[in-house]
Chains A and B, each alone.
Chain A
Amino acid sequence: MIRPKPESVEIVHQRRDAALRALVSGVPYIQFLGIEVERRGDELTAILPFDEKLIGNPMLPALHGGVTAAFLEVAAIIELSWSTLWEDVESGRIALSGLDSLHMPRLPKTIDFTLDYLRSGLPRDAYARARVNRSGRRYASVHVEAWQDNRARLFAQGTGHFLMPDRDLPDPADQARR
């Protein structure tokens, strides 16, 4: 049996990082909040580096509850898009050269989002990881957890329901599909 030679690690990194960049860097609001996303294999961690403009209570001081909400929602949408994009990218169905902010795959739409505020957000970096609990053809349910100094001490968690993009409609990313 002859097995195909495995791809070089550089090629794999390049492809996956380009796909992630297309998801993150094209969205102005993600840039406005300063959210970054790190990848280990297919596991993503969203990072919200501390910035003065994220403060909601200047006396404590504490992160704005709305910023926390937005951070968790962004992390959920990126995880959900990433989980569907991953297969297309790995199988080569999407050519990355054509992916930019105007030719991204259609994003899921938020139906609702529920947030638990567990402790006040400190004026320092925050991290979030999301888990897709169910992803059907039409609807998806995603849970997100956010922490700061200590992974075990969450400062917020959330659950959102999302409407998946209609796969039967023409998708701008199809231009990038082979």
Chain B
Amino acid sequence: MPDYDTMRVSDPERVKRAAQDFIEAIPHARACNMHIEQVGGGSAAISMPYDLRLVGDPRTGVVHGGAVSALMDTCCGAAVLSHPDGPSASATIDLRIDYMRAATPGQRIIARATCHHITRSVAFVRATAHDEEEDGPPVATATGAFTADRSPAAS
């Protein structure tokens, strides 16, 4: 089971290990081979390798937008949980994704999310997704609102 509270302690290695355990406990994140690159203090970076199963256009080999959405949603959730005032569980209330360009076939995609504001009940998050051309324009950006209820039964 994921240990959400450890994600907020200060030792970065321990945090990263806990975060990787957290993501591996999410069946869909595991199915897509998502990997934690960085997490803590209300921000997170999660990568997803290129995978033929995720292709949305068989002619070009470009990954489906939905797979990018799933990566960004996961990353936004991890950012919320890693916030110093974050909840122990969170769910998406609203998510908007803008697709700037097709991800280059064969390249991994990395999402970076920041929980830039949190209230007693809502966490506000921004995210970007890049392929391996990290200096180029993002593949997609997202903004979202997530639940931030502190009670364990929050959903």
Q: Do the two shown chains form a genuine complex with each other?
A: yes
User: Which among B1, B31, B64, B102 is the interface contact of A59 at CB below 8 angstroms?
Assistant: B1
Q: Once the chains bind, are A27 and B95 in contact (CB under 8 Å)?
A: no
CA distance in complex: A89, B54 (Å): 28
User: Which among A29, A31, A58, A114 is the interface contact of B26 at CB below 8 angstroms?
Assistant: A58
Q: Once the chains bind, are A32 and B97 in contact (CB under 8 Å)?
A: no
CA distance in complex: A33, B127 (Å): 24
A109 proximity list for chain B (CB < 8 A): 99, 102
B31 proximity list for chain A (CB < 8 A): 53
Binding-face segment, B8-16, B35-43, B65-73, B112-120:
B65-73
B92 proximity list for chain A (CB < 8 A): 65, 115, 117
Q: How close is B76's CB to chain A, nearest CB, in angstroms?
A: 9
Q: How close is B90's CB to chain A, nearest CB, in angstroms?
A: 9
Binding-face segment, A9-17, A66-74, A146-154:
A66-74
User: Which among A70, A74, A101, A112 is the interface contact of B98 at CB below 8 angstroms?
Assistant: A112
- Please indicate which of the listed interface residues B52, B55, B102 has the most CB atoms of chain A within 10 Å of its own CB: B55
Q: Once the chains bind, are B97 and A70 in contact (CB under 8 Å)?
A: no
User: Which among B97, B98, B155 is the interface contact of A60 at CB below 8 angstroms?
Assistant: B155
Q: Is B77's CB within 8 Å of the partner chain A?
A: yes
Q: Once the chains bind, are B65 and A113 in contact (CB under 8 Å)?
A: yes
Q: Is A55's CB within 8 Å of the partner chain B?
A: yes
Tell me the count of chain B residues lying within 8 A, CB to CB, of chain A.
Answer: 40
Interface string of B83-109 (1 = CB under 8 A from A): 000000101111111110010000000
Q: Once the chains bind, are A115 and B66 in contact (CB under 8 Å)?
A: no
Q: How close is A46's CB to chain B, nearest CB, in angstroms?
A: 12
B55 proximity list for chain A (CB < 8 A): 27-29
Q: Once the chains bind, are B28 and A29 in contact (CB under 8 Å)?
A: no
Q: Once the chains bind, are A69 and B99 in contact (CB under 8 Å)?
A: no
CA distance in complex: A59, B26 (Å): 10
Q: Is A98's CB within 8 Å of the partner chain B?
A: no
Q: Once the chains bind, are A28 and B65 in contact (CB under 8 Å)?
A: no
CA distance in complex: A99, B135 (Å): 39
Q: Once the chains bind, are A115 and B28 in contact (CB under 8 Å)?
A: no
User: Which among B52, B70, B99, B155 is the interface contact of A70 at CB below 8 angstroms?
Assistant: B70
Known: A66-B69, A107-B57, A116-B93. 8 other contacts (CB 8 A): A62-B91, A66-B74, A67-B28, A67-B70, A70-B69, A110-B99, A114-B97, A115-B92
Interface of A toward B, CB cutoff 8 Å: 26-33, 52-60, 62, 64-67, 69-71, 73-74, 101-102, 104, 107, 109-117, 120, 172
A-B contact pairs, 6 of them (CB 8 A): A66-B71, A69-B69, A107-B56, A110-B97, A115-B92, A115-B96
